[in-house]
Chain A
Amino acid sequence: MPLLALSGISKRFGNHQALDDVSLTIEPGEVVAIIGRSGSGKSTLLRCINGLERPDRGTIEFDGEVFGSTPSQLRALRRHMGIVFQSYNLFPHLSVERNITLGLTAAKGMATDAARAMAARALRMVDLEDKISSYPMQLSGGQQQRVAIARALAMEPRLVLFDEVTAALDPELIGEVTRVLDRLAREGMTMVLVTHEMGFALRSAQTIIFMNQGRIWEQGPPDKLFGAPQTAELASFIDAILPVDPTRPLNH
């Protein structure tokens, strides 16, 4: 049984059809990378999965249970999944430790000691145990993003969503974050990532979804999708993102 099943998800913003009848299943332990041009609906899809955007149509099924869009149902759905944002969205007034324990104590009702132990463990997973009493402002972008990942992991989600988590980082800081992502993928975490990191997508994803005009345009394992794109849209997208070969003269 799939862990997550979306069927017929559509979402409109004014005149713009952001998502158009998207259906998708994700198996436990699967790593799915969603790629596509900006405006293709990738982020909206991710935000629909955990209810930050309410779809106009369609259903979301998690572990065999259908979730509606009342606040309490959304909260129940989100209890199963974590999300990491492009802009980290750490709480600037709270220490790294409190950023991580807040959800545990205030939402899950965990005792403070247990929550702090959990925070320490989550920070070890992202190699930041020495930053436990720092504040977000004192950390680099890459470190903040790793704290954000630790915060999501501490909630013990069964699925983690990543929304362009390296897009706001300086190039030299991307590696430390993708290393954490690689490790999570190896350890069997179910992950859905909207990403521009094709290296990561090729290495760690089992499934790549190429979105275009609010639809799933092509879908398949990385070697098949990148090796033999079936549509002109995907072929031109791959051309646009692949690094230019410096040994070849540029054609003007």
Chain B
Amino acid sequence: MGADGAIRLAVPASPEYLRMTRLMAAGVAGRLGFSLEEIEDLRIAIDEVCFALVGDRGRPGTVVVTYRVSGDGLVVEGEGRFEEGLGVQPRLSPLSSRILSVVVDECSLEAGPTGPTFRLVKHRGR
């Protein structure tokens, strides 16, 4: 955990390791008293954005995910650090966008300096 109270997890950008980012999200959300269904939503959201970042086969590089508690919510930010760097533009299908709008309160996906980035916010008990 960093001095800012955030938890940071860096994993290889492949599906086997992205599982860890879901586990961590479930762990932190569980501590915050999120319900099982809210945790499932969060997991679906992380799957969707991670797929947008690395596809389902992975990429050479790392994904750094930061978990931060904010009031009654959890902010999950991710950053791709890929060898192919700037070439990777994140894209969401219309269905993915729809799904994300239902399972989290806020979601954004942008091109960053070393690869795409995402930001998810999920509040408890809404």
Partners in one complex: no
Report which A residues bind B (CB closer than 8 A): none
Report which B residues bind A (CB closer than 8 A): none
